[in-house]
Amino acid sequence: MRIILVGCGKIGVALLSVLVAEGHDVVAMDSRSDLLETMNDRYDVMCVSGSGADCEALLEAGVEKTDLLIAVTGSDELNMLICYLARRQGAKHTIARIRNPQYNDKSLGFLREQLGLSMPINPEFLTAQEIHHILKLPAASKVETFSRRNFEMVEIRLKEDSPFVGHKLEDLRGRFKAMFLVCAVQRGNEVVIPRGDYVLEIGDRIGITADRVELWKLFKTIGLAKKQARNVLLLGGSRIAFYLSKLLLNSGSNVKLIDTDKATLHKFSDVYPAIETELGDGTHPEVLQEARLQDQDAFVCLTGMDEENILAAYYARAQHVGQVIAKVNIDEMAKMAAQMGLENVVSPKAVVVSVVLRYVRALQSSMGSSSIENLYQLMDGKAEALEFIVSNEAAYTGIPLKDLRLKKNILIAGLLRDRKAIIPAGNDMILPGDRVVVIAGQQRLNTLADILL
């Protein structure tokens, strides 16, 4: 596909890297020529210097023959204008980063229609949703949902006392009396799609798929069932904190916010009167103690500084807070946080990359015998979980799964049929209309047919 990317900030660079790796013809646009030189040297892509709101610059980038334009500059209004102009000049699809809460309410549908916008993306709201999912299932470090939340995939780290350790995967389901599947394992830097004879070890990071009821049954059996966080302490009055506060309050949680800026605290109090606020620097232990950190079910670090988030999260972990989550955008910092034992790290940049990648793959698959409904990057991007909807014309339907010749590092992790989740066995078949969840390691799938040899 031919894609124009406008805005080469942190999220723009992350998107550019993934889109180039996927084999797309990408044009980078930015008004800062020094950034474009870096992009050209690093990724060998065509670069156009200028504003995305400049019609002549868009024409120079080839907007009239572009399949998709993505605008991720620092201004919501500029992103919307760029997408509007691109559509008028021939771009088939457009994506705009729109972060301001005032645009992400009732007016967003109107703006989307009037601008011809294919998809708005809000990194902060998407990140808040991801954090909220983790807070609802405290034992997991990552939670992804499929088929309108009827089917879930969670990631957990195996500790010394885990009953999974030392057992073959083929023995687990009978041992714990729940319908689930271990679909991916990260051991060190290696990620595998395991076979039944794979033996789990301490420190493994595993992905488990199941429907919500079976997943909760499993967690109760293995001692990981914990009540979702009711008392949540937020550090940093960021946009993510703004969206997360609404989600938490709507689900019945008590929310307390620490920030160094009095005006920010007043803003939160005006919008959310139920929030308790405290003025202070949350990286200082005495401030956290005053906010009664030890009495919280969860502590979420959302300042604009990765270092501060990691430092505060590490302190909270040492104080035995039940659940600790840190926002970390820089990849190197995220690796450092993991080495320090911080398992719950979220990145707005990674969330946006997954959403855009899902949309791009869906565009490519829309003419095939299956379409992509969901796509998530797993295990630090080393594997993917995809949900396909099967059409009536698919050639691989009605065949037992044991008779399908699958490529290496591919696993059919779930069949979703008439709102029922099926953990598939060899005699199960894919039928027209099914939603099929596939786990793929180190390969790119555009259609469900791509899993076959």
pLDDT > 70: what percent of the chain? 98
140-152 pLDDT, tens digit per residue, is: 888 888 876 678 8
Looking at residues 99-127, what average pLDDT do you find? 82
Domains by residue range for the chain, with CATH: 2-121 (3.40.50.720), 127-221 (3.30.70.1450), 231-346 (3.40.50.720), 350-451 (3.30.70.1450)
Q: Is the pLDDT of residue 281 over 90?
A: yes
Please give the pLDDT value at position 177: 78
Looking at residues 289-306, what average pLDDT do you find? 94
- Other C-beta atoms closer than 10 Å to the C-beta of 408 total 9
Residue 153 has, within 13 A of its CA and on its CB side, a CA count of 29
Question: CB of 124 within 8 A of CB of 170?
Answer: no
pTM of the model: 0.86
Looking at residues 205-220, what average pLDDT do you find? 89
Looking at residues 347-370, what average pLDDT do you find? 82
Torsion angle in degrees (nearest 10) through CA of 282, 284, 288, 289 = -170
Q: Which residue has the higher pLDDT, 82 or 176?
A: 82
Please give the pLDDT value at position 148: 65
Please give the pLDDT value at position 293: 94
Q: What are phi and psi of 223, to 5 degrees?
A: 80, 20
284-296 pLDDT, tens digit per residue, is: 999 999 999 999 9
Q: Is the pLDDT of residue 165 over 80?
A: yes
* DSSP β-bridge partners for residue 119: 95
Looking at residues 122-138, what average pLDDT do you find? 90
Mean pLDDT of the chain: 90
Least confident of 258-267, 362-371, 381-390: 362-371
Q: Is the pLDDT of residue 367 over 60?
A: no
396-438 pLDDT, tens digit per residue, is: 899 999 999 999 999 999 999 887 889 998 899 999 999 999 9
Looking at residues 312-339, what average pLDDT do you find? 91
Looking at residues 379-397, what average pLDDT do you find? 87
Short-list 58, 47, 65, 123, CA closest to 84: 58
Please give the pLDDT value at position 366: 66
Q: Which residue has the higher pLDDT, 340 or 3?
A: 3
Q: What is the 3-state secondary structure (H, E, C) of the chain?
A: CEEEEECCCHHHHHHHHHHHHCCCEEEEEECCHHHHHHHHHHHCCEEEECCCCCHHHHHHCCHHHCCEEEECCCCHHHHHHHHHHHHHCCCCEEEEECCCHHHCCCHHHHHHHHHCCCEEECHHHHHHHHHHHHHHCCCCCEEEEECCCCEEEEEEECCCCCCCCCCEHHHHHHHHCCCCEEEEEEECCEEECCCCCCECCCCCEEEEEECHHHHHHHHHHCCCCCCCCCEEEEECCCHHHHHHHHHHHHCCCEEEEEECCHHHHHHHHHHCCCCEEEECCCCCHHHHHHCCHHHCCEEEECCCCHHHHHHHHHHHHHCCCCEEEEECCCHHHHHHHHHCCCCCEECHHHHHHHHHHHHHHHHHHCCCCEEEEEEEEEHHHCEEEEEEEECCCCCCCCCEHHHCCECCCEEEEEEEECCEEECCCCCCECCCCCEEEEEEECCCCCCHHHHEC
- Where does the pLDDT of residue 174 fall: very low under 50, low under 70, confident under 90, or very high at 90 and above? confident
Q: Is the pLDDT of residue 221 over 80?
A: yes
Please give the pLDDT value at position 306: 95
- Where does the pLDDT of residue 369 fall: very low under 50, low under 70, confident under 90, or very high at 90 and above? low
- Where does the pLDDT of residue 370 fall: very low under 50, low under 70, confident under 90, or very high at 90 and above? low
Please give the pLDDT value at position 61: 94
